[in-house]
Chain A
Amino acid sequence: MEFSSPVLNYTLLSPMLILLGGAIIGVLVEAFMSKALRPFTQLSVTLGSLVLALVQVWRIRNEQSLSAAMGSVVIDGPAVLMQASILIISLISVLLIADAEHFTPLAAALPGSDEERHAMQSGNQVTEVYPLTLFAVAGMMLFPVSSDLITLFVALEVLSLPLYLMAGLSRRRRLASQEAALKYFLLGAFSSAFFLFGAAFLYGYSSSITFTGIRNAVVGGGGNDVFLLIGIAFLSVGLLFKVGAVPFHAWSPDVYQGAPTPVTAFMAAATKVAAFGAMLRIYYTVFANAQWSWSPMLTIIAIITMVFGSLVAIAQRDVKRMLAYSSIAHAGFLLTGVIALNKAGLEASLFYLFAYGITTVGAFAIVTLVRDSAGEVTDLNRWKGLGKRSPWVAIAFATFLLSFAGIPLTSGFIGKFSIFSAAYESGARSVVIAGVLSSAIAAFFYIRVIVLMFFTDPVEDGTSVEIPSSLTSITVIFSIIVTIALGVFPAPVLNFISNLATFIR
């Protein structure tokens, strides 16, 4: 047997390599640097790698290649757009993660133990979170550009494992945080198993693990369709779990609530881009010719997801849980972009993912600011009168909510309009009607929060709004600017996306 050395296109892989390199440096920093120097060093290394990776993505924006890594990685326009979105969202999330106030001083200590107290007093910080973030970002970058099932699975695990850990790092309510981590891990493991099961069937169907091979088998026909159907079904379960679509959403409210808020922001925004990126690539290229088999299923799931998410969100009393259900509803809206299966649908999805991701990070950034002596206040009843206490913070949050609700002049409206019109164009009218109706339901609970903030008087219960640190301010201001700019003048971004949004096969 003869081995030939692999041919790698380092330029095209460089964004991911930079991140992995940064992550390894981060691990070395943890091992060899003194505690006092770590926070600043880690933050610099992380931000530096992200910025470098973003620059590198910009430089390869017009490249196209199916063989960046021996046919396992594909770089094309959508890949560049997804990677850039992930990097920008990660950058502003890292600025939130930099606030050590949200993280436990010692993750391994039992909640309430002497050890933990000691760590707290000595001013310990879990700077491990930075390399974990970088590993997760690298996984997310790889996920939507993978072009065989093995690489796809590896990317899925690389992005998921650090997130499981990060979900358990909350400083307050340690038990809830650990429960969230465990829940996320167990359900994630289940979904990975489903994913692998589906991958095995697809291999059985096409005798190939590469996307090109499976696609050719689908186009050529003649294989055993039962294998194909089972393969698609189980692979979809794995992907739908990651995006939090009903009925695979059960983890998300608990994890969103239990995880440290900066991690929730990162997870909610960046994971969605990565997972939808992979979904778009798989359904638009690999399974495009088998549309008959998955389109009805995804249509039903999309409708259930948006209606369920919007309805259940109404009953929430906790701002993080409310945002979790709202993100479930948005997963439903995004699925309409997958169902559309046309160029407009791809463009709309890419725009929506970016706009939604930025708005989500901004909204969670505001959540980190509302606190009392015991940490963040997420009970919505205690957000009463926020508009009086700190009008600017309340106005910012209201803007994000209006964008979620899809009110014109915010990015959310352009996103919704473009994704619904793409779905309508492809003939998926039922999804559009369900989408419009659930938008109406969703508007109700977003508005209720605005009412709480602006139209009710504050209750004196020790809730206060933290003066945002300069890093958090950057995140909030950036998110506000993007949310409004994409709502008022979306043309440049839409053009940019339109020029790049073609999958190569």
Chain B
Amino acid sequence: MNSLVLLMLLPIIGSIAVAATPKTKEVLSKQVALATSVIVAIATIAMAMNFQRDNVDLQFVEKYSWIPTFGINFSVGVDGLALVLILMSTILAPIVVLSGWNEAHGGRWSVKTFYILILVLETMMIGVFAATDVFLFYVIFEAMLIPVYFLIGGYGTGERSAAAVKFLIYSLFGGLLMLASIIALYVMSGAQGGHTFDLQALSQLEMSSTTQNFLFLGFFIAFAIKAPLWPLHTWLPDAAASATPGTSVLLLGVLDKVGTFGMIRYCLTLFPEASKTFTPLIMVLAVISIVYGAILAIGQKDLKRLIAFTSISHFGFITMGIFAMTSQGHSGATLYMFNHGFSTAALFIVGGWMIARRGSSTIADFGGLQRVTPVMAWSFFLAGMSSLALPGLSSFVSEFLVLVGTFTRYPVHAVIATFGIVLAALYILIPVQKALHGPTTPSNEGLSDLNLREKVAIAPVMAIIIALGFYPSPLLNVINPASAHVIAQMGFTDPAPTNGDK
């Protein structure tokens, strides 16, 4: 079954099935949702097996006419980059469902609605990475805000509705700027051989450098809000702190990747010249994000906000890797997107269990968990180590590639970014020490360790983190040709490695 459209339809069918379950049988809704997401994950893996790694063209291409009046097609297809991200999204979905088995119970609405929203979101997650029509991409990019908005506002904790609104307003604002750019592209395509939204055709457009710069900014600001890049990040900590752990995994793990994915797929492909013009600025913003996110993470008292700030730092690395314009940097950034999905998922999921058991998300409330709940404590430790990119775990490979790729062209940036790694050790080790080690504080004594369901949920995440740490080549083999292709299209060649006696 090599059809992306069918893959997108599966979760929708699942959500209809969930909608058909009776409201009183909550377990049944969950089981249907879990079954659907597992099937989607297996189907995606099966598709990935059929992917031709050395072929840099789009694969699994499908194209249906949608709104012919405007030259809009429902067209999908994947390259190595998109495939890796779809794979990550569909593997994360069942993990989110299973790990957050009970997290929908505190919501405003029924459990059933929660899983309908999750499954609809899954369809859109596949579609947003698979779309090869700019209009289709935009539609999904905007439409996927709605389920996330209701997931945060309806099932979150604390100031959930304020956080949901902040998230939506930021994203809509960015999206509308992108819409203005898309309209401009559409109009120009009409003047140069017929209205179209086809990504390939649009990348051939002739435009003045001023126009290109403005249109680039329209796209880039939208993606920088999504990713999020300093100084457009302020919505993320609030949203992540209010959302349920599962929603946060999807939000930071998948949705924010649309931002960095979009930078490669749309900013670089459509506006190569403007991308080069803005590279110096973006590199500075990326480095600021790395250091700023890390420093703020150190200062956080709330576990969820801490994880959110670590992500801002990590997205700085990804953006830096993308705009370093070297093939290592690109491959590293893409691999980083994949790995960040799993290491953040591990942190949020295990952190979410800790918070649910303790009834508090303040780090200082925990203490000595290692003695009471060893499995949970070790899981959190491993997740933390992955987040700080310990050698042997998956994030190390990607962070190393990004730094190597950046250093060959931007040594100063790379050196400053390296401090981010040092800071990462601090922001992870401090909560690890406070929460896991030391004497068990009184209110932590009765906490229960992970049950079988939770172990089953976290096991694949841990397996991926460790396996890709030692043996990343299956993924890199898919990513490298795609990255090299993008860099070549941009007209860059990798600088030769320099040695000391140059």
Contact = CB atoms under 8 A, between A and B. Distances in A.
B415 to A, nearest CB: 39
Contact of A440 (B142, B146, B172): B172
B42 interface: no
A51 B67 CA distance: 30
A472 B233 CA distance: 45
Contacts of A456: 161
Interface string B160-191: 11001100110011001101100110110010
A421 B186 CA distance: 8
A439 interface: yes
A498 B69 contact: yes
A417 B185 CA distance: 13
B481 interface: no
Contact of B172 (A391, A417, A421, A443): A443
Interface string A492-505: 00110010000000
A90 interface: no
Interface string A30-69: 0000000000000000000000000000000000000000
B66 interface: yes
Nearest to B181: A436
B150 interface: yes
Interface in A423-478: 424-425, 432-433, 436-437, 439-440, 443-444, 447-448, 451, 454-456
Contacts of A88: none
A36 B40 CA distance: 62
Given A417-B179, A432-B180, A495-B68, A407 B187 contact: no
Interface in B287-319: none
B183 A388 contact: no
A162 interface: no
Contacts of B58: none
B180 A451 contact: no
Contacts of A418: 70
A440 B176 contact: yes
A87 interface: no
A408 interface: yes
Interface size on A, as a range, is: 35 or more
A388 B36 CA distance: 28
Given A408-B139, A491-B66, A455 B160 contact: yes
A436 B176 contact: yes
B291 to A, nearest CB: 31
B139 A409 contact: yes
A201 interface: no
B183 A417 contact: yes
Contacts of A409: 139, 143
B154 interface: yes
Contacts of A308: none
Interface centre among A347, A391, A436, A498 (most CB of B within 10 A): A436
Contacts of A437: 176
Contacts of A408: 138-140, 142-143
A375 interface: no
A424 B183 contact: yes
A310 to B, nearest CB: 12
A424 B187 contact: yes
A354 B245 CA distance: 43
Interface string B131-154: 000000011101101100010011
A436 B177 contact: yes
B176 A454 contact: no
A424 B168 CA distance: 26
Interface in A288-346: none
B105 interface: no
B63 interface: no
A451 B161 contact: yes
B169 A443 contact: yes
B108 interface: yes
A243 interface: no
A490 interface: yes
B176 A491 contact: no
A159 interface: no
A420 B179 CA distance: 10
A455 B172 contact: no
A74 interface: no
B152 to A, nearest CB: 10
Contacts of A417: 70, 179, 183
A82 interface: no
Contact of A433 (B66, B67, B142, B180): B180
A283 B153 CA distance: 46
Contact of B183 (A405, A432, A495): A432
Contacts of B146: 402, 407
A456 B108 CA distance: 9
B139 A425 contact: no
A215 B139 CA distance: 42
Interface string A376-394: 0000000000011001000
A455 B166 CA distance: 14
A444 B176 CA distance: 13
Nearest to B174: A440
Nearest to A344: B190
B191 to A, nearest CB: 8
Contacts of B70: 417-418, 421, 494
Interface string A391-417: 100000000001001011100011001
A409 B161 CA distance: 23
Contacts of A490: 67, 69
Given A417-B179, A433-B180, A436-B177, A455 B153 contact: yes
A378 to B, nearest CB: 22
A433 B190 CA distance: 19
23 contacts: A388-B108, A407-B142, A409-B139, A413-B142, A414-B67, A417-B70, A420-B179, A421-B70, A421-B183, A424-B183, A432-B183, A437-B176, A439-B176, A440-B172, A440-B176, A443-B169, A443-B176, A447-B168, A448-B165, A451-B153, A455-B108, A455-B153, A455-B164
Interface of B: 65-70, 108-109, 138-140, 142-143, 145-146, 150, 153-154, 160-161, 164-165, 168-169, 172-173, 176-177, 179-180, 183-184, 186-187, 190
Interface of A: 347, 387-388, 391, 402, 405, 407-409, 413-414, 417-418, 420-421, 424-425, 432-433, 436-437, 439-440, 443-444, 447-448, 451, 454-456, 490-491, 494-495, 498
